[in-house]
Amino acid sequence: MEAEIITIGTEILLGEIVDTNTRTLARRLRDIGIDIYLTATVGDNAKRIAEAVRSSASRADVVITTGGLGPTIDDATREGIAEGMDVDLAFSDELWIQIQDRFAQFGRTPTENNRRQAYIPAGARPVENPVGTAPSFILESEEAIIIALPGVPSEMIHLLESDVIPYLKTRLGTYEIIKTRLVRTAGIGESTLDERISDLEELSNPTVGLSAHPGRVDIRITAKAESMQKAEEMLWSIQATLEQRLKDHIYGTDEQTLESVVLDLLKERDFNLVTLEAGTEGLLSSSLGPEKETLIASEQMLVQKMDDPVHPFLTSMMHEHYASAGLGIKLLQEEDSGSTLEICAILPDAQETIKENYPAIFVNMESRAISYALDLLRRTLLKSQ
Protein backbone atom coordinates (compact mmCIF):
# COMPACT_ATOMS: atom_id res chain seq x y z
CA MET A 1 0.00 0.00 0.00
CA GLU A 2 1.27 3.45 -0.96
CA ALA A 3 0.23 6.77 0.55
CA GLU A 4 0.58 10.48 -0.06
CA ILE A 5 0.16 13.25 2.51
CA ILE A 6 -1.32 16.68 1.84
CA THR A 7 -1.13 19.36 4.51
CA ILE A 8 -3.63 22.16 4.02
CA GLY A 9 -3.18 25.71 5.26
CA THR A 10 -2.12 29.04 3.79
CA GLU A 11 -0.36 29.81 7.08
CA ILE A 12 2.06 26.93 6.37
CA LEU A 13 2.85 28.28 2.90
CA LEU A 14 3.48 31.72 4.39
CA GLY A 15 5.88 30.29 6.95
CA GLU A 16 3.76 31.42 9.88
CA ILE A 17 3.58 27.94 11.38
CA VAL A 18 5.75 24.85 11.02
CA ASP A 19 4.19 21.67 9.64
CA THR A 20 4.87 18.85 12.10
CA ASN A 21 1.93 16.69 10.99
CA THR A 22 3.69 15.36 7.90
CA ARG A 23 6.58 14.01 9.93
CA THR A 24 4.24 12.40 12.48
CA LEU A 25 2.14 10.78 9.77
CA ALA A 26 5.12 9.61 7.74
CA ARG A 27 6.75 7.91 10.71
CA ARG A 28 3.54 6.28 11.87
CA LEU A 29 2.63 4.99 8.41
CA ARG A 30 6.16 3.71 7.97
CA ASP A 31 5.76 1.68 11.15
CA ILE A 32 2.86 -0.31 9.69
CA GLY A 33 4.50 -0.86 6.31
CA ILE A 34 2.89 1.84 4.19
CA ASP A 35 5.26 3.48 1.71
CA ILE A 36 5.15 7.24 1.15
CA TYR A 37 6.50 8.64 -2.10
CA LEU A 38 5.20 12.20 -2.03
CA THR A 39 4.03 14.88 0.40
CA ALA A 40 2.62 18.29 -0.46
CA THR A 41 1.25 21.49 1.07
CA VAL A 42 -1.59 23.48 -0.44
CA GLY A 43 -3.32 26.67 0.67
CA ASP A 44 -6.92 27.15 1.83
CA ASN A 45 -8.45 27.10 -1.63
CA ALA A 46 -11.04 24.51 -2.65
CA LYS A 47 -9.93 24.38 -6.31
CA ARG A 48 -6.27 23.81 -5.42
CA ILE A 49 -7.18 21.27 -2.78
CA ALA A 50 -9.29 19.44 -5.35
CA GLU A 51 -6.40 19.40 -7.82
CA ALA A 52 -3.96 18.12 -5.19
CA VAL A 53 -6.32 15.39 -3.96
CA ARG A 54 -7.23 14.32 -7.49
CA SER A 55 -3.55 14.11 -8.45
CA SER A 56 -2.57 12.12 -5.35
CA ALA A 57 -5.52 9.75 -5.73
CA SER A 58 -4.37 8.94 -9.28
CA ARG A 59 -1.07 7.61 -7.89
CA ALA A 60 -1.58 6.43 -4.31
CA ASP A 61 -3.79 3.91 -2.53
CA VAL A 62 -4.27 6.23 0.45
CA VAL A 63 -4.37 10.03 0.57
CA ILE A 64 -4.29 11.67 3.99
CA THR A 65 -5.02 15.36 4.42
CA THR A 66 -4.59 17.47 7.55
CA GLY A 67 -6.16 20.85 8.19
CA GLY A 68 -9.03 22.91 6.80
CA LEU A 69 -11.87 21.18 8.67
CA GLY A 70 -12.93 24.13 10.83
CA PRO A 71 -16.17 26.16 10.61
CA THR A 72 -14.89 29.25 8.76
CA ILE A 73 -15.15 30.15 5.09
CA ASP A 74 -11.44 29.47 4.47
CA ASP A 75 -11.76 25.91 5.82
CA ALA A 76 -12.15 24.42 2.37
CA THR A 77 -10.97 20.82 2.75
CA ARG A 78 -14.47 19.28 2.66
CA GLU A 79 -15.38 21.12 -0.54
CA GLY A 80 -11.98 20.44 -2.09
CA ILE A 81 -12.07 16.69 -1.47
CA ALA A 82 -15.67 16.43 -2.71
CA GLU A 83 -14.77 18.27 -5.91
CA GLY A 84 -11.54 16.35 -6.36
CA MET A 85 -13.32 13.01 -6.04
CA ASP A 86 -16.34 14.19 -8.09
CA VAL A 87 -18.98 13.75 -5.39
CA ASP A 88 -21.41 16.12 -3.69
CA LEU A 89 -21.30 17.30 -0.10
CA ALA A 90 -23.90 15.66 2.11
CA PHE A 91 -25.17 16.71 5.53
CA SER A 92 -24.46 14.11 8.25
CA ASP A 93 -27.01 14.07 11.06
CA GLU A 94 -24.62 11.84 13.00
CA LEU A 95 -21.85 14.41 12.82
CA TRP A 96 -24.15 17.31 13.71
CA ILE A 97 -25.25 15.48 16.86
CA GLN A 98 -21.60 14.82 17.74
CA ILE A 99 -20.73 18.49 17.21
CA GLN A 100 -23.63 19.64 19.39
CA ASP A 101 -22.68 17.18 22.13
CA ARG A 102 -19.08 18.34 21.98
CA PHE A 103 -20.06 21.99 22.41
CA ALA A 104 -22.43 21.05 25.22
CA GLN A 105 -19.48 19.61 27.13
CA PHE A 106 -17.98 23.10 27.10
CA GLY A 107 -21.27 24.68 28.10
CA ARG A 108 -21.68 26.29 24.69
CA THR A 109 -24.08 26.15 21.76
CA PRO A 110 -22.68 25.72 18.24
CA THR A 111 -23.27 28.61 15.86
CA GLU A 112 -24.76 28.29 12.40
CA ASN A 113 -21.33 28.19 10.75
CA ASN A 114 -20.50 25.10 12.83
CA ARG A 115 -23.15 23.30 10.74
CA ARG A 116 -20.64 23.48 7.88
CA GLN A 117 -18.56 20.93 9.75
CA ALA A 118 -21.38 18.39 9.50
CA TYR A 119 -21.14 18.41 5.70
CA ILE A 120 -18.80 15.75 4.31
CA PRO A 121 -18.34 14.20 0.85
CA ALA A 122 -21.22 11.91 -0.05
CA GLY A 123 -20.44 8.31 0.85
CA ALA A 124 -17.77 9.24 3.40
CA ARG A 125 -17.74 7.70 6.85
CA PRO A 126 -17.63 10.28 9.66
CA VAL A 127 -14.94 9.97 12.33
CA GLU A 128 -15.87 11.51 15.67
CA ASN A 129 -13.33 13.88 17.21
CA PRO A 130 -13.59 13.55 21.01
CA VAL A 131 -10.70 15.97 21.65
CA GLY A 132 -11.77 18.85 19.40
CA THR A 133 -14.62 20.36 17.42
CA ALA A 134 -13.40 19.50 13.90
CA PRO A 135 -14.82 16.10 12.89
CA SER A 136 -13.00 14.00 10.32
CA PHE A 137 -14.02 11.50 7.69
CA ILE A 138 -12.86 8.60 5.55
CA LEU A 139 -13.96 8.36 1.92
CA GLU A 140 -13.46 5.10 0.08
CA SER A 141 -13.59 5.45 -3.69
CA GLU A 142 -12.49 3.43 -6.69
CA GLU A 143 -9.41 5.62 -7.07
CA ALA A 144 -8.16 5.73 -3.48
CA ILE A 145 -9.00 5.98 0.20
CA ILE A 146 -9.17 9.64 1.27
CA ILE A 147 -8.69 10.32 4.99
CA ALA A 148 -9.26 13.89 6.23
CA LEU A 149 -7.79 14.76 9.63
CA PRO A 150 -7.71 17.99 11.66
CA GLY A 151 -4.70 20.29 11.41
CA VAL A 152 -4.28 20.78 15.16
CA PRO A 153 -1.42 18.33 15.93
CA SER A 154 -2.89 17.00 19.22
CA GLU A 155 -6.23 16.29 17.55
CA MET A 156 -4.58 14.79 14.48
CA ILE A 157 -2.42 12.45 16.57
CA HIS A 158 -5.38 11.31 18.68
CA LEU A 159 -7.52 10.40 15.66
CA LEU A 160 -4.54 8.87 13.88
CA GLU A 161 -3.97 6.45 16.75
CA SER A 162 -7.59 5.81 17.74
CA ASP A 163 -9.16 5.41 14.30
CA VAL A 164 -6.88 5.73 11.29
CA ILE A 165 -4.09 3.28 12.16
CA PRO A 166 -6.53 0.52 13.25
CA TYR A 167 -8.56 1.13 10.07
CA LEU A 168 -5.49 0.93 7.83
CA LYS A 169 -4.23 -2.20 9.57
CA THR A 170 -7.59 -3.84 8.87
CA ARG A 171 -7.42 -2.81 5.22
CA LEU A 172 -3.86 -4.07 4.94
CA GLY A 173 -4.74 -7.47 6.40
CA THR A 174 -1.22 -8.79 6.78
CA TYR A 175 1.15 -5.87 6.95
CA GLU A 176 4.86 -5.37 7.15
CA ILE A 177 6.95 -3.54 9.70
CA ILE A 178 9.17 -0.72 8.41
CA LYS A 179 12.06 0.07 10.74
CA THR A 180 14.68 2.77 10.27
CA ARG A 181 18.06 3.38 11.90
CA LEU A 182 20.48 6.27 11.50
CA VAL A 183 24.18 5.50 11.67
CA ARG A 184 26.02 8.77 12.29
CA THR A 185 29.52 9.50 10.96
CA ALA A 186 32.10 12.28 11.15
CA GLY A 187 35.59 12.83 9.75
CA ILE A 188 34.68 11.44 6.33
CA GLY A 189 33.19 13.28 3.37
CA GLU A 190 29.97 12.29 1.64
CA SER A 191 31.68 11.38 -1.64
CA THR A 192 34.30 9.21 0.08
CA LEU A 193 31.61 7.55 2.15
CA ASP A 194 29.56 6.91 -0.97
CA GLU A 195 32.50 5.14 -2.59
CA ARG A 196 32.96 2.83 0.39
CA ILE A 197 29.34 1.76 0.71
CA SER A 198 27.98 2.20 -2.83
CA ASP A 199 27.11 -1.51 -3.04
CA LEU A 200 24.92 -1.18 0.06
CA GLU A 201 23.12 1.81 -1.45
CA GLU A 202 22.00 -0.42 -4.34
CA LEU A 203 20.13 -2.82 -2.03
CA SER A 204 16.34 -2.93 -2.32
CA ASN A 205 15.64 -4.20 1.23
CA PRO A 206 17.09 -2.93 3.46
CA THR A 207 17.65 0.35 1.67
CA VAL A 208 20.65 2.53 2.50
CA GLY A 209 20.86 6.28 1.87
CA LEU A 210 23.02 9.25 2.85
CA SER A 211 22.11 12.60 4.38
CA ALA A 212 24.94 15.15 4.62
CA HIS A 213 25.28 17.89 7.25
CA PRO A 214 28.22 20.30 7.78
CA GLY A 215 31.12 18.05 8.81
CA ARG A 216 28.90 15.03 9.40
CA VAL A 217 27.05 12.44 7.30
CA ASP A 218 24.12 10.28 8.42
CA ILE A 219 23.54 6.86 6.90
CA ARG A 220 19.87 5.88 6.91
CA ILE A 221 19.05 2.16 6.90
CA THR A 222 15.41 1.19 6.29
CA ALA A 223 14.26 -2.43 6.60
CA LYS A 224 10.85 -3.83 5.73
CA ALA A 225 9.89 -7.18 7.26
CA GLU A 226 6.96 -9.21 8.53
CA SER A 227 7.99 -8.76 12.17
CA MET A 228 9.86 -6.30 14.36
CA GLN A 229 12.46 -8.94 15.20
CA LYS A 230 13.19 -9.66 11.54
CA ALA A 231 13.43 -5.95 10.75
CA GLU A 232 15.88 -5.46 13.64
CA GLU A 233 18.00 -8.37 12.41
CA MET A 234 18.19 -6.80 8.95
CA LEU A 235 19.21 -3.44 10.42
CA TRP A 236 21.90 -4.98 12.62
CA SER A 237 23.33 -6.89 9.66
CA ILE A 238 23.85 -3.69 7.64
CA GLN A 239 25.07 -1.78 10.69
CA ALA A 240 27.70 -4.46 11.36
CA THR A 241 28.94 -4.13 7.78
CA LEU A 242 29.12 -0.35 8.13
CA GLU A 243 31.05 -0.63 11.40
CA GLN A 244 33.54 -2.97 9.75
CA ARG A 245 34.13 -0.64 6.81
CA LEU A 246 33.97 2.74 8.52
CA LYS A 247 35.36 1.92 11.97
CA ASP A 248 35.85 5.02 14.13
CA HIS A 249 34.21 7.33 11.61
CA ILE A 250 30.97 6.11 13.22
CA TYR A 251 30.26 8.04 16.39
CA GLY A 252 26.67 7.04 17.20
CA THR A 253 23.21 6.00 16.07
CA ASP A 254 19.66 7.37 15.98
CA GLU A 255 19.14 10.12 18.58
CA GLN A 256 22.82 10.39 19.50
CA THR A 257 24.58 13.55 18.37
CA LEU A 258 28.29 14.30 18.14
CA GLU A 259 27.83 16.76 21.01
CA SER A 260 26.09 14.24 23.28
CA VAL A 261 28.67 11.54 22.53
CA VAL A 262 31.58 13.85 23.40
CA LEU A 263 29.90 15.01 26.62
CA ASP A 264 29.21 11.41 27.64
CA LEU A 265 32.86 10.47 27.09
CA LEU A 266 33.95 13.41 29.24
CA LYS A 267 31.54 12.45 32.00
CA GLU A 268 32.71 8.83 31.93
CA ARG A 269 36.22 10.02 32.77
CA ASP A 270 35.03 12.73 35.15
CA PHE A 271 36.68 15.42 33.01
CA ASN A 272 35.60 19.05 33.03
CA LEU A 273 36.01 21.02 29.83
CA VAL A 274 36.93 24.54 28.75
CA THR A 275 36.47 25.82 25.21
CA LEU A 276 38.26 28.61 23.40
CA GLU A 277 37.16 29.78 19.98
CA ALA A 278 37.84 32.51 17.48
CA GLY A 279 36.04 33.11 14.20
CA THR A 280 33.16 30.74 14.98
CA GLU A 281 30.76 33.20 16.64
CA GLY A 282 30.52 31.16 19.84
CA LEU A 283 29.00 28.14 18.08
CA LEU A 284 31.22 25.66 19.90
CA SER A 285 30.12 26.55 23.43
CA SER A 286 26.48 27.04 22.40
CA SER A 287 26.39 23.64 20.67
CA LEU A 288 27.47 21.92 23.88
CA GLY A 289 24.72 23.61 25.87
CA PRO A 290 24.59 24.48 29.58
CA GLU A 291 26.35 21.33 30.78
CA LYS A 292 27.56 22.58 34.16
CA GLU A 293 29.03 19.21 35.07
CA THR A 294 31.29 19.22 32.03
CA LEU A 295 31.58 22.62 30.31
CA ILE A 296 32.88 24.88 33.06
CA ALA A 297 34.13 27.83 31.03
CA SER A 298 34.15 29.14 27.48
CA GLU A 299 35.80 32.14 25.90
CA GLN A 300 35.61 33.85 22.54
CA MET A 301 38.54 35.81 21.19
CA LEU A 302 38.96 38.11 18.23
CA VAL A 303 40.75 36.40 15.38
CA GLN A 304 43.29 39.21 15.25
CA LYS A 305 44.48 38.20 18.71
CA MET A 306 45.06 34.61 17.65
CA ASP A 307 48.11 35.01 15.44
CA ASP A 308 49.97 32.56 17.69
CA PRO A 309 49.03 28.86 17.93
CA VAL A 310 45.90 27.97 19.88
CA HIS A 311 47.74 25.63 22.25
CA PRO A 312 49.34 28.15 24.66
CA PHE A 313 46.11 30.17 25.00
CA LEU A 314 44.11 27.01 25.67
CA THR A 315 46.66 25.65 28.16
CA SER A 316 46.59 28.92 30.09
CA MET A 317 42.81 28.84 30.21
CA MET A 318 42.84 25.24 31.48
CA HIS A 319 45.20 26.16 34.31
CA GLU A 320 43.07 29.18 35.21
CA HIS A 321 39.91 27.11 35.55
CA TYR A 322 41.52 23.87 36.82
CA ALA A 323 40.12 22.05 33.78
CA SER A 324 41.14 18.53 32.79
CA ALA A 325 40.14 18.92 29.13
CA GLY A 326 40.37 21.75 26.64
CA LEU A 327 39.15 22.28 23.09
CA GLY A 328 40.18 25.30 21.02
CA ILE A 329 39.34 26.52 17.51
CA LYS A 330 40.78 29.30 15.37
CA LEU A 331 39.06 29.95 12.05
CA LEU A 332 40.38 32.61 9.69
CA GLN A 333 38.34 33.39 6.57
CA GLU A 334 39.63 35.92 4.04
CA GLU A 335 38.26 36.47 0.55
CA ASP A 336 41.68 36.73 -1.09
CA SER A 337 43.41 33.84 0.68
CA GLY A 338 40.65 31.37 1.60
CA SER A 339 40.27 29.76 5.01
CA THR A 340 42.64 28.50 7.69
CA LEU A 341 41.41 26.25 10.47
CA GLU A 342 43.36 25.26 13.56
CA ILE A 343 41.96 22.94 16.23
CA CYS A 344 43.59 21.83 19.46
CA ALA A 345 42.35 19.18 21.90
CA ILE A 346 44.16 18.73 25.23
CA LEU A 347 43.67 16.00 27.84
CA PRO A 348 45.82 15.06 30.87
CA ASP A 349 47.42 12.19 28.96
CA ALA A 350 47.05 13.21 25.32
CA GLN A 351 46.81 16.16 22.99
CA GLU A 352 46.13 16.58 19.29
CA THR A 353 46.41 19.58 16.99
CA ILE A 354 45.36 19.84 13.37
CA LYS A 355 45.75 22.75 10.96
CA GLU A 356 44.08 22.87 7.56
CA ASN A 357 44.22 25.40 4.74
CA TYR A 358 41.34 25.71 2.28
CA PRO A 359 41.61 27.63 -1.00
CA ALA A 360 38.16 29.17 -0.62
CA ILE A 361 35.55 30.17 1.94
CA PHE A 362 32.97 27.40 2.15
CA VAL A 363 29.31 27.75 3.04
CA ASN A 364 28.64 26.79 6.67
CA MET A 365 32.36 26.80 7.41
CA GLU A 366 31.72 27.73 11.05
CA SER A 367 29.43 24.70 11.51
CA ARG A 368 31.95 22.48 9.73
CA ALA A 369 34.67 23.71 12.08
CA ILE A 370 32.57 22.78 15.11
CA SER A 371 32.04 19.26 13.75
CA TYR A 372 35.76 18.85 13.03
CA ALA A 373 36.66 20.07 16.53
CA LEU A 374 34.21 17.84 18.36
CA ASP A 375 35.30 14.85 16.30
CA LEU A 376 38.96 15.53 17.12
CA LEU A 377 38.14 15.67 20.84
CA ARG A 378 36.12 12.46 20.55
CA ARG A 379 38.98 10.63 18.86
CA THR A 380 41.50 11.97 21.39
CA LEU A 381 39.31 10.79 24.26
CA LEU A 382 38.98 7.32 22.74
CA LYS A 383 42.71 7.10 22.07
CA SER A 384 43.67 8.10 25.60
CA GLN A 385 41.43 5.57 27.37
* Cis peptide bond prior to 126, omega within 30° of 0: no
The single-letter DSSP state of residue 11 is H
Would you say domain 260-384 falls under CATH 3.90.950.20? yes
Task: Share the mean pLDDT of the chain.
Answer: 89
pLDDT value of residue 325: 93
Q: Which CATH number fits domain 177-253: 3.30.70.2860, 2.40.40.20, 3.40.50.1100, 3.40.1260.10?
A: 3.30.70.2860
pLDDT value of residue 81: 96
Where the chain has pLDDT below 50, the residues are none
| CA–CA separation, 309 and 358 (whole Å) | 18
Q: Which CATH superfamily is domain 2-172 in?
A: MoaB/Mog-like domain (3.40.980.10)
**Helices marked H in 209-330 — which ranges?**
228-246, 258-268, 283-288, 310-321
CA atoms 255, 256, 257, 260: torsion sign: positive
Please count the other Cβ atoms lying within 10 Å of the Cβ belonging to residue 148: 29
> Where are the chain's structural domains?
2-172, 177-253, 260-384
Would the pTM count as exceeding 0.85? no
Residue type, 62: V
Residue type, 373: A
For residues 285 and 373, is the Cβ–Cβ distance under 8 A? no
Residues 197-219 pLDDT 10s: 999 999 988 999 998 888 999 99
Element (H, E) at 18: none
| CA–CA separation, 113 and 92 (whole Å) | 15
pLDDT value of residue 333: 81
* Domain 2-172 matches domain 177-253 at the CATH topology level: no
| CA–CA separation, 175 and 55 (whole Å) | 26
pLDDT value of residue 303: 62
For residues 300 and 292, is the Cβ–Cβ distance under 8 A? no
Three-state secondary-structure class, residue 23:
helix
Residues 292-332 pLDDT 10s: 567 777 887 766 555 678 888 899 999 999 999 999 999 88
